[in-house]
Amino acid sequence: MKVAKFQWCKPIAALLLLAVFTVPVSAQQLKIGVVNVPLLLERAPQTKAAMDALQEEFAPRQREILAKQTELQELVERAQKDGAVMGEAERRALEKEVRDLQREVTRLDSEFREDLNLRRNEELGLLQRSLLTEVQAYAQGEGYDIVVGDGVLFASTSANITEEVLRAIEASYNAQSSR
């Protein structure tokens, strides 16, 4: 009776062995590539264009903050230079003006950094989605079965297609820019 219980195991074991030996044969036929996504994002021309656009978008606010900082510095220097010869009321008024301007500069700078970071993250999200689409198009066009990106623990240099994908992205960008 014990022998009969395990008779069903032989066909399952045979199927498992068959599966183990057939998987490597089909895996050898797969075309696999690896893309270094952070490097791709760093070197893609779209990234530079987006960062330049952000710089241009935020330049007026940055100039405003610099002007306020210069105004504050001049006011502080005036308070240090003339503070000893000023009347009490005039000195207090100048000190209040310095504090108020310091608060305004701090607020403007904080809002600027927050807004810039939000816009940068927004642009990077758009870029990542765009580059993913480009990688998928490249992989399909080149007949890749699998392309691995973030999370790769090891990849041989022969499997790394980052440079090829980057060239395709640059060509696509240049073609779109020349329209």
Q: Where are the alpha helices (DSSP H) in the chain?
A: 2-5, 9-27, 37-43, 45-82, 88-142, 162-177
Question: Phi/psi at 161 (nearest 5 deg)?
Answer: -110, 20
CATH number of domain containing 160? 3.30.910.20
The total of structural domains in the chain comes to 1
pLDDT of amino acid 5: 46
User: 9 in a domain, yes or no?
Assistant: no
pLDDT of amino acid 10: 42
User: 6 in a domain, yes or no?
Assistant: no
pLDDT, mean of each 10-residue run, the chain (179 residues):
44 41 52 87 93 97 97 93 86 93 97 97 94 87 82 60 90 88
- Give residue 40's domain range: 29-177
User: 18 in a domain, yes or no?
Assistant: no
